[in-house]
Amino acid sequence: MDHAVTIAQDVDRDSTNSDEGQVHLEVDEKDSPVFLAWKGLTVNARRAKRPLLIDVTGKITNGFYAIMGPSGSGKSTLLNTLACRLDQGVSVKGELKLNGQDYSNAELKKISGYVMQDDLLNAHLTVEETLMYTAELRMPRSSTPEERTQRVQEVMRQVGLAHVSGVIVGSPVKKGISGGERKRLCVAMELLTKPALLFLDEPTSGLDSVTALSLCRLLRRLAASRTCVVVCTIHQPQAKIFHLFDQLMLLNRGEVVYQGPAQGALEFFDRSGFPCPAYENPADHFLDVITPNMTDSLEDLALKEAALRRHYQAPPVEHLLDIPKPLILPRDVTPWHVQFRVLLRRSLKETWRKRSTSYVLMAQTIVMAVLIGTVFLRIGTSQTSTVRRQPVLFFTVINQGMFGALIVINSFPSERMLSLRERAAGTYHVSAYFLAKITAETLSQLPVPIVFSCIVYWLVGFQAVASKFFIFMGFMVLCSTAATSLALAVSAVARTTDMAVTILPMVLEICRLFGGFFLSPANLPKYFSWLDALSYCKYTYVGISLNELHGLDLHCTPNQLNAAGQCPITRGEQTIKSLGLDYISIADCVGILIGYIVICRIIAYLGVRFLKH
Alpha carbons 539 and 586: distance in angstroms, whole number: 9
Question: In terms of CATH, what superfamily is 4-111+195-322?
Answer: P-loop containing nucleotide triphosphate hydrolases (3.40.50.300)
pLDDT tens per residue, range 530-587: 777 888 999 999 999 999 999 998 888 777 677 666 788 888 899 899 888 888 999 9
Mean pLDDT, residues 333-348: 92
Q: What percent of the chain has pLDDT over 70?
A: 90
Q: For residue 570, what pLDDT is reported?
A: 85
Alpha carbons 314 and 99: distance in angstroms, whole number: 19
Pairing of strands 197-201, 112-115: parallel
Domain boundaries defined on the chain: 4-111+195-322, 123-191, 336-610
Q: Give yes or no for residue 319 having a pLDDT over 50.
A: yes
| Residue 130, number of CB atoms within 10 A of its CB | 22
Q: For residue 330, what pLDDT is reported?
A: 60
More confident residue, 491 or 24: 491
Mean pLDDT, residues 61-67: 92
The amino acid at 444: S
Can you give the pTM of this predicted structure?
0.84
Q: Give yes or no for residue 384 having a pLDDT over 90.
A: no
On average, the pLDDT of the chain sits at 85
Distance of alpha carbon 336 from the chain centroid: 19
Q: Which residues contact 470 (CB under 8 A, 6 or more apart)?
A: none
Q: For residue 394, what pLDDT is reported?
A: 94
- Whole-angstrom CA distances from 536 to 239, 263, 357 are 63, 68, 25
Tally of CA atoms within 13 A in the half-sphere of 454 that contains its CB? 7
Q: Give yes or no for residue 472 having a pLDDT over 90.
A: yes
Q: Give yes or no for residue 595 having a pLDDT over 50.
A: yes
